[in-house]
Structure 1
């Protein structure tokens, strides 16, 4: 065929060209198909935007004409407004509907094409549902016009004279409390009493490293003999010089006293009869309290009066939604003590105290700990509950103080029970009780009179107040509680330290029993002592589960020893109901069914998560740590449910215990959560009763009943748990290893003094350096205040981490075809371009536009916790080889009308377009709700199925991470979203405020 006249002959190497029917431009024939697809998408989006703009103009004109009195119904096609995605506008804030910056609709489930969520003019919506305010006292008069949309209202006790305080929750949280800089007794020499700074620095290093005298001597010899470069600036030349400097420094802190405590015991046998002496080293607890009260650096973290906190909604009127309990000063006990103390604003002048009266609640922790294979030590720790928990439960200034080590007489320590007669064993137990209670009574004696009369002093803020100490919380295991309260063992007829529940009723969690009080228990002891025979006396004492003796705190004011017994999640839950009972029962059941190996395989397949141990074969391991038991309780259901019969009561019991443990462990409690906790206790009780071959008649099961009251009276459980003191046992073990073993307690308290005073000096020296830095900065600024810029934008609530090199989109697609999720990346290039065309039409993106991709292996997501409304952070992984194994975490994102949508991260990347604009996106596999259910569907059970294809998700819609466990024993893939990984997830997935 002849070539048409006027056309150019095509060369053999010239590519085939074609004309685009949309934009009428000529392109390479091999890529014109993809080009035309994007052209049509761009054209469709432009037309849709133009139509929406035209419709908006018609609606505006219609409203204007109706405003001029022109009635009639609106004509034309009804507007279909796009559903805005829920979006976190900044880190730590609650999700809100963004109606201004909404991505346009796309052919993607993240962007619905139409939505009727917003009624026309909101006319058909009707009035918004009103929340019923809780029956609380009248709130203070606050101007509603200035109230945030939701906030925490704190109202202080009337004796304080303090105004109410509002903490907004719909914006940036208030800045953290700034601690005043510490000042030593010699501001010119903050390192005093050391002569020169090198002396202090060298001593601090030696104390922190726990160096022995031989090591210190070796270093000093090397320094003074110029083994190291340059002359030595130390004035300390020997170990004795350092010891003298430390002795002078120890006067800055509360020092230990030495005393000899004597017990005159007239036993029934000659073995233990006689005088027993104990060399006792102790700190006066009142001196420790004074040290804390006078410390100006602790003033911002101290609370002198009780208060009530409320979660409120603002707007035109203030609405109290619920009461909030967290620190002990927000609970009932402190408020009741404040009511009893003298009122500084009383109408009668004669009843007004000279100085404000404040309650000084104390936390006492006692426990025995193994410091070597053969030696146990028994420390007594004290904390001040008026100090915020962030300081009180940490190490350093304002944290726990070691008061003493409880020591038994040599006759008790050296006795072998196996070779004692019955009478000698009775004498041994009685002598142990006398020593234990005598030492503790001597230790706390300085607080007894002051709890009644108080003591006036100048506090760290310069105000004189009268303080009344009282022991509000006792954290101990049951063996310690029984000794402390002079009660009988756990197998006694009445063994509960809180109430008089009979032994045969310990299984029942739905019935209340008479509470113990100091007056009632003292009456029982007096009645028993009036009996003429030993048998009658023992019968009276057994009727209340007591031993003959006076409890230490009976003579104290504001110190109820039975109310102070507190719920301990470590011993009652992790090491109690679950670790010693339900887990043991589950292991035995799996062994009898010959399915333990299947369970272990399922547990090994669970994904990794932060702060959770990965337990590969739990049935083969003997556990001793509470955290391991807690992790197993949180993750046990997905690997167990398919191995048990349908509607298994064990599954329901474990689930109810999970729910209870998640709520009882929260650091912020509300009235609604306490009510839910009681429902979970009831569900746990009913499920346990259906397990026929397991006896739940034990004390730790019963004590579950007292958890809600303990929280309401003394604050959340993190202030009561023994876990905060368990870390000190490691210090005790370390101190013991540095002693000679002879009179070890006296050497250990000296080591504790040295470490405490050097930590205090470290803070003073560091604060002095900070003070100088601020002074120099002020001098450079010449006193000018720096103003914020006018144009400020909210920072994103995510940060990308662990970057890979930036590559072109084609190279990135080729790389991902070799990844573990390669099946989802076919057509990635075209899919991303379609997504950008719909979400950012202003780019005018074509198939030929250059796009660069920089992928990341991790993302840090900031979010606002639903537990206490503070900011939290998730670190999510999207890594083909994280610690030599693939890890692709899941997320919760806001989409459509469901704020709890789930997806798995397949890739995290930042794409840069030809126009120079960058977008942070995630390539995800969505999950949708499944109709499949396990053989036993537990309360709150949710099952999701993975979508067959992947989609793009802008990172601004990611809320936080999620944990999905794969269901075992099924032909297709199903996943359980676990709500037990942390407190926030539990509240989110169960829709609990």
Structure 2
């Protein structure tokens, strides 16, 4: 056994023996995007040519109506006549061909859901749905998709050299407890087929008068990178739920709310009806990879916001005695993190409902009183019809609604805007947001944030990690203790969400995450905050790590991938329907989008097979043949004399570089002396791709770095971490070059290094800020010594000191915790 070895223990029913793999080999074979032999050489069929399909797909993506589509075709037809096989004539032909192509995938069906309200005539509602089992079979019969599925539960361990013990870690759902528990209930040889369920009502029109209610499912047997993606193996809309119109005479009344819940659950039962029997008996079939499997479907994860979870579990919501969907904690004790209440279960709930119905034979009031004690509704839950799919065990912690738009967006951020009302402070915060460095996947706020009003969870997530660094000095404690204490709350909040959002959770990070939650709750209880955090979305953090241990890391349960469906569906409504009988039109165009995705995926497989990857830049180079970095954006060779004339940072560059290279190449047994003249040349580069082993996931991650005086019209010189003699060092790139020495080429970076400021101010300690300060001189380093990229933030106009932005990502967060312990804890 070696340090950091990985042990995999498979479920006993799998018949697979435990295996131990070396750390460096773990995950290397799990390339979810690996190339495939194309299953179809003409994937655009039934279109007559690839160009026909791509024009039709463009019209669909742009949500063109009939008139615009006909105009586009007319223009292309006139331009390409006789030059290409473009044969489409008009919008109607596109629609007819879409209808032919639609047969490739499970289409929507229409049915009526009939429910009686009080003693009135039964009311009928239209439901459009795809049978879930038909969708699952599509995935199972697709060779490329099913070959990427995992079936057997497993427990993963990493060997810890310090304690000389195996420490468990969790990532995908099949490495967590619920999958293992479910497989234990199955006959030997049977395997779980796990579904992720999502539903949410959203606005389709600007004024909210038109709404949509999509149901989306994903297959948890697929890796998160695939199932959370946009390809054919990603999420699928399988239902368009009916929306019960609010009636002024009934709206808000308990029995009308119950009626709406019954309509929801009758609809959900219809969507899952096709797989209900197989949840009990299992289903045997030969899958697309030629393997015969006996599979038991289960709705393992129910991904939803709080309001939708109340509907899924038929609880009474925020104003009830026990507002938590997961446990019966009293409404006035939501910040009690010292005691743990028993989890709600389907079995206990059915018993409560049966007891209440017995009381209903005597008095409806007695039934209502009994159910009110448990904050339950007098309705039958559709998920009770699906064996093993306990709705209370399935509903999951959602980082988008409970953290980003919840604890942060609804509470901390809103309270900050109230507390920080000084105009100069507001202006300073907004200006700092405008000046924050750009980074991949990081939202940029060109107009600041203090006056923003929006409900975009991804923006809330970024603001929550940046706000502290923009506001650290705008409100002195002696002037506004509530605002200053709120900044301390923000540091604890950052630590809490960074630990909870890690994409691999070890027993150590889970313990640290529990501590981070308690630290946040403790500081939020301070009377100096001048706000109560006794809210359901704070309480839900008590269930956060239970969900991770049972169902895998948070991004496998998050609503974020599903929320992305709402935008395209809204565009279909606004641009492609006639605003009459819209549900039928929306599901038709949505189905066309799915078919287009299938065809486009197959075309990409075909293109990669025949032509390789077209997205790789042509000038990327990997000098000294390595997998660690790649140089790009190559410039013409330049002499040292030319460089000296450009900027003072290049003074005596040929002498300084010669000294550095001599030191770099000298060994204990071989002293090397490198010399350059002013007329010698180097090759400059402005692009650097760094591949590094992530401390978060233990797999290769990539940073794209720039060293460019005019990148999209602005200078961009990114920051890095490099390996120094005494440990990791933060630095800013100033120049990338390739030089010759001893008949070889060496990639070198000219950097401005920064040192850690160990004499810390009270504010830095309180708010957990890692301050760095410029070293006196620029220096050369080998590009090979660069660990990864970093984001460093200016502190103020009065100092050149910087703050390291530690919540950049999970790796940076853990890296700072590891190498600079205590600096970012806050107090």
Q: Which bin holds the TM-score, normalised by the shorter protein? A: 0.7 to 0.9
Q: Is 1:645 equivalent to 2:474 in the alignment?
A: no
Q: In structure 2, what is the Cα distance between the partners aligned to 1:504 and 1:205?
A: 54
1:369 and 2:216 aligned: no
By how many angstroms is 1:203 displaced?
A: 4.8
Asked if 1:690 is matched to 2:526, the reply is yes
Q: Partner residue of 2:576?
A: 738
Determine if contact 2:624/2:745 at 8 Å carries over to the other structure.
no
User: Which residue number in structure 2 is paired with residue 566 of structure 1?
Assistant: 396
Please say if 1:666 is aligned against 2:502. yes
Match of 1:838 among 654, 663, 688: 663
User: CA separation of 1:933/1:361 partners in 2, compared to 1, >3 Å: closer, same or farther?
Assistant: same
Answer yes or no: is the 8 Å Cα contact 2:139–2:233 preserved in 1.
yes
What residue is the counterpart of 2:637 in the other structure?
806
Q: Secondary structure at the match of 2:811?
A: helix
Q: CA contact under 8 A between 1:149 and 1:170: conserved in structure 2?
A: no
SS at match of 2:332: helix
Which of 714, 724, 749 is 2:551 aligned to? 714
User: Which residue in 2 is equivalent to 1:815?
Assistant: 646
Shift, 1:383, TM fit: 0.8
Deviation at 1:680, TM superposition (A): 0.4
Of 99, 117, 141, the residue aligned with 1:294 is: 141
Partner Cα distance (1:981, 1:849) in 2 = 41
Q: Please point out which of 274, 292, 312 is paired with 2:121.
A: 274
Whether 1:479 aligns to 2:316 is no
Contact 2:35 2:608 in 1 (8 A): no
> Could you tell me how far apart the structure 2 residues matched to 1:367 and 1:680 are?
30
**Within the alignment, does 1:303 sit opposite 2:150 as a pair?**
yes
Moved more, 904-913 or 360-369: 904-913
How far, CA to CA, are the matches of 2:306 and 2:816 in structure 1? 35
Say yes or no: does 1:170 pair with 2:24. yes
Partner of 2:386: 556
1:583-608, Cα deviation, whole Å (9 max, x unpaired): 11222221169733343344444433
Q: Using the alignment, how far apart are the partners of 1:230 and 1:712 within structure 2?
A: 62
Q: Report whether the alignment pairs 1:403 with 2:259.
A: no
Q: Paired residue for 1:870? A: 699
Query: Where does the alignment leave 5 or more consecutive residues of structure 2 unmatched?
Result: 613-622, 822-827
* Aligned mates of 1:318, 1:491 — CA distance in 2: 48
Using the alignment, how far apart are the partners of 1:227 and 1:599 within structure 2? 53
Q: Distance in 2 between matches of 1:767 and 1:826?
A: 52
For the Cα contact (< 8 Å) 2:624–2:746, is it kept in 1? no
**What is the 5 A alignment of 1:132-147?**
none
Q: Show the 5 A alignment for 1:748-787.
A: 748-764=586-602, 767=605
**Superposed displacement of residue 855, structure 1:** 3.2
Native 8 Å contact 2:491 2:768 kept in 1: no
Point out where structure 1 has 5 or more consecutive residues left out of the alignment.
Answer: 1-143, 268-272, 344-355, 775-791, 818-823
1:152 pairs with 2:3? no
Q: Is 1:654 matched with 2:483?
A: no
SS of alignment partner, residue 500 of structure 1: coil
Do structure 1's residue 387 and structure 2's residue 217 form an aligned pair?
A: no
Matched, 1:230 2:65: no
The answer to whether the 8 A contact 1:966-1:975 is kept is yes
The CA deviation string for residues 790-817 of structure 1, in whole angstroms up to 9 with x for no partner, is xx97516222333444322122022013
Matches of 1:843 and 1:434, distance apart in 2:
82
Asked if the contact 2:258–2:377 (Cα under 8 Å) also holds between the matched residues in 1, the reply is no
Q: 1:713 to 1:758 in 2, by over 3 A?
A: same
| 2:620 alignment partner in structure 1 | none
**How far does residue 655 in structure 1 lie from its aligned partner after superposition?**
1.4
Q: Secondary structure of 2:344's partner? A: coil
Equivalent of residue 180 in structure 2, options 319, 335, 339: 335
Distance in 2 separating the partners of 1:236 and 1:886: 47
Report the CA distance between 1:928 and its aligned residue: 1.8
Count of residue pairs the alignment pairs up? 791
Residues 768, 935 of structure 1: CA spacing in aligned structure 2 closer, same or farther, 3 A cutoff? closer
Q: Distance in 1 between the 2:767 and 2:153 partners?
A: 37
Looking at structure 1, the residues matched to 767 and 684 of structure 2 have their Cα atoms a distance apart, in angstroms, of 39
Task: Note the 1:61-460 alignment, pairs <5 A.
Answer: 150-165=4-19, 168-170=22-24, 173-174=28-29, 176=31, 178=34, 180-181=36-37, 183=39, 192-193=45-46, 203-204=56-57, 206-208=59-61, 210-217=63-70, 228-230=80-82, 242-267=94-119, 273-312=120-159, 321-343=166-188, 356-373=189-206, 374-408=209-243, 412-413=244-245, 415-417=246-248, 420=249, 425-426=253-254, 428-460=256-288
Contact 1:310–1:320 (Cα < 8 Å) also in 2 = no
SS in structure 2 at match of 1:265: coil
Change (3 A) 1:838 1:769: closer
Structure 1 counterpart SS, 2:421: helix
Q: Does residue 860 of the first structure (1) align with residue 689 of the second (2)?
A: yes
* Larger displacement relative to structure 2 (326-335 or 543-552): 543-552
Cα distance in 2 for partners of 1:219, 1:685 equals: 58
Q: What is residue 933 of structure 1 aligned with on the other side?
A: 760
What is the match of residue 982 of structure 1? Answer: 809
Question: CA separation of 1:533/1:941 partners in 2, compared to 1, >3 Å: closer, same or farther?
Answer: same
* Residue 581 to residue 150, structure 1, CA distance change in 2 (3 Å): same
SS in 1 for 2:12: coil
- Aligned equivalents of 1:157, 1:772: Cα separation in 2: 41
Which position in structure 2 is the counterpart of 1:79? none
CA-atom RMSD, angstroms?
Answer: 3.2
Q: How many angstroms does 1:909 deviate by?
A: 2.4
CA distance in 2 between counterparts of 1:396 and 1:814 reads 52
Higher relative contact order (CA 8 A, sep 6+): 1
The structural deviation recorded for 1:883 is 4.1
Deviation at 1:610, TM superposition (A): 2.9
CA contact (8 A) 2:430 2:449 kept: yes
Say if 1:681 and 1:510 are closer, same or farther in 2 by CA, change over 3 A: farther
Q: Does the Cα contact within 8 Å between 1:151 and 1:312 map onto a contact in 2?
A: yes
**8 A contact 2:132–2:271 mirrored in 1:** yes
Query: Counterpart of 1:921?
Result: 748
Partner of 2:824 in structure 1? Answer: none
Deviations, residues 525-571 of structure 1 (Å, cap 9, x unaligned): 23333334444333322221112112221232221111111111110
Q: Identify the residue that residue 270 of structure 1 maps to in structure 2.
A: none
Separation (CA, whole Å) in 2 of partners of 1:987 and 1:639: 22
Partner of 2:585: 747
CA contact (8 A) 1:601 1:617 kept: yes
Once the 2 structures are TM-superposed, how far is the Cα of residue 340 of structure 1 from its aligned partner? 1.1
C-alpha change, 1:845 and 1:470, in structure 2 (3 Å) is closer
Q: Structure 1, residues 453-504: CA drift from partner, whole Å, max 9, x if none? A: 2222222222322221111111111121112221112122101011111011
C-alpha deviation, 1:379, in angstroms: 0.3
In structure 1, the residue matched to 2:376 is 546
Equivalent residue for 2:680?
851
The answer to whether the Cα contact below 8 Å between 1:153 and 1:166 also exists between their aligned partners in 2 is: yes
Structure of higher CA gyration radius: 1
Deviation string for 1:182-230 (max 9, x for gaps)? 536xx8x655555677765665555455443345555667888x77532
Q: Distance in 2 between matches of 1:848 and 1:217?
A: 67
Distance 1:947 1:196 in 2: 62
Q: Distance in 1 between matches of 2:250 and 2:370?
A: 26
Cα displacement (A) at 1:912: 4.0
1:504 is paired with a residue whose SS is: coil
Name the counterpart of 2:786. 958
Q: How high is the TM-score relative to the length of structure 2?
A: 0.88
Partner deviation per Cα, 1:911-945 (whole Å, 9 max, x = no partner): 346x6654322222222222432333147543222
**Residue 835 (structure 1) shift:** 2.4
Matched, 1:628 2:459: yes
Q: Structure 1's 233 and 724: CA in aligned 2 closer, same or farther, altered over 3 A?
A: closer
Q: Which residue in 1 is equivalent to 2:341? A: 513
Q: What is the TM-score of this pair, normalised by structure 1?
A: 0.74
